[in-house]
């Protein structure tokens, strides 16, 4: 379910592991941002990692939002991600899921 992409490496035949991704993020001191999309009624998180010093270094990680796996979301952006997910659930009238996300936000 996890997709990793590094600029200029999209043709690389093997997927990167979580460990590889985390090592590259740490090595280049990448900072996270995000974009949410909806695909087949699923909320997808596209983490956009970029270097504040070198614009040619960036990475993306895409995965489906799941309330049971919040540890995947970096702490730096977790509250903003949850707020946007909450807004999406409310706009689609998915109130039970919205309540779970609201409770997570309140517990932060």
Q: What is the pTM of this model?
A: 0.80
Task: Tell me what pLDDT residue 16 has.
Answer: 65
For residue range 25-72, list pLDDT tens digits in order.
888 899 999 999 999 989 999 999 998 888 888 888 899 999 999 998
Q: pLDDT at position 19, please?
A: 78
3-state secondary structure the chain: CCEEEECCCCCCCCCCCHHHHHHHHHHCCCEEEEEEEEECCEEEEEEEEECCCCCCCEEEEEEECCHHHHHHCCHHHHHHHHHHHHHHHHHCCCHHHHHHHHHHHHCC
């Amino acid at each position: 379910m996890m997709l990793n992409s590094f600029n200029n490496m999209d043709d690389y035949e093997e997927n990167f592991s979580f460990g590889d991704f985390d090592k590259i993020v740490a090595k280049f001191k990448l900072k996270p941002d995000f974009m949410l999309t909806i695909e087949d009624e699923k909320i997808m998180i596209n983490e956009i990692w970029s270097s504040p010093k070198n614009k040619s270094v960036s990475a993306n990680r895409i995965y489906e939002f799941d309330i049971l796996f919040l540890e995947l979301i970096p702490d730096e952006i977790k509250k903003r991600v949850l707020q946007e997910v909450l807004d999406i659930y409310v706009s689609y009238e998915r109130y039970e899921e919205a309540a779970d996300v609201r409770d997570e936000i309140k517990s932060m």
